[in-house]
Structure 1
């Protein structure tokens, strides 16, 4: 059965995107070897992204490395949105309901991960009790503003348990 994993590269001060969804800050770091990302990529069976993430900036835009995991991911992608494009996008399924999007992505992923991309979709998954794990790859930069890894002002804390054997910031969500 597929597990839902929220993975993100995050600045040391807690941002996954700069102001206005700017991802250019990641360009210098995306080219560096990342064994954790490589290990994860081999275990991703489907991607579930929010519309802002899907249509947002890519640090590798207009290069051969454009797309998820530096353009190396080529599996099924599901985008949670109430505003799908008028024209189909090859390899992408647009879904208007969170539970339906998660179910379809999980079916596509099989025994592998559904990799959740985007802070808002991850927040929705946590609030619905659907998210299983969180992986954060900390990048040595301070952005000072932008989109936070997790932002739910006034919400209750979400307990995480470090996964055994992981040297990265990889946690199980404990509801």
Structure 2
């Protein structure tokens, strides 16, 4: 069964997007589109994406990688969790109205590879449902001072994580954890 991995880039002060979901801060810190694909892309079989993330700001805006997962370094099945699907189909994207169906479909489509979860709210829902397996936080060298927090669920209580790896790359320090189950 494919595992669910929440992967995210985060500023050193704990924000994954700037005010109003702004992602332009990340653009100068990303590898160029069309270059060497992100190492994570090789283990991903499907994406499970939140609606705000799917329709939000793109750090690859105005480049050849705009609108593409990993800036064009990955292609495959995408599942967007939403109660407001667009009026017209989007090629390669399935819009799903509930978390259980979205997780089941993404796992099946991943073919044994990782389901990459994108979006803070979807990750929070997966964590609450007990289906999130890992968290990969790519800490980038910038301070934003405000915006969207990595994890904002004041009533959730502590979540135990088991460190798996720390990798220092040219654009970030990547911290990977396994979600501990009680």
Question: Which stretches of structure 1, 4 residues or longer, exceed 2 Å deviation after superposition?
Answer: 165-168
2: CA distance between counterparts of 1:120 and 1:70? 22
Shift of 1:166: 4.7
**Contact conserved, 2:49 with 2:117, CA < 8 A, in 1?**
yes
Q: How does 1:4-83 map to 2 (within 5 A)?
A: 4-31=4-31, 38-66=38-66, 67-83=68-84
1:123 corresponds to: 124
Root-mean-square deviation (CA), in Å?
A: 1.5
| Inter-CA distance 166–145: structure 2 relative to 1 (3 Å threshold) | closer
**TM-score when scaled to structure 2?**
0.90
2:111 corresponds to: 110
List gaps (5 residues or longer) in structure 1.
Answer: none
CA deviation profile, 1:101-139 (whole Å, cap 9, x unmatched): 000000000111000000000000000000000000000
1: CA distance between counterparts of 2:76 and 2:102? 15
Query: How many residues are paired up?
Result: 171
2: CA distance between counterparts of 1:166 and 1:142? 20
Shift of 1:39: 1.9
2: CA distance between counterparts of 1:24 and 1:85? 25
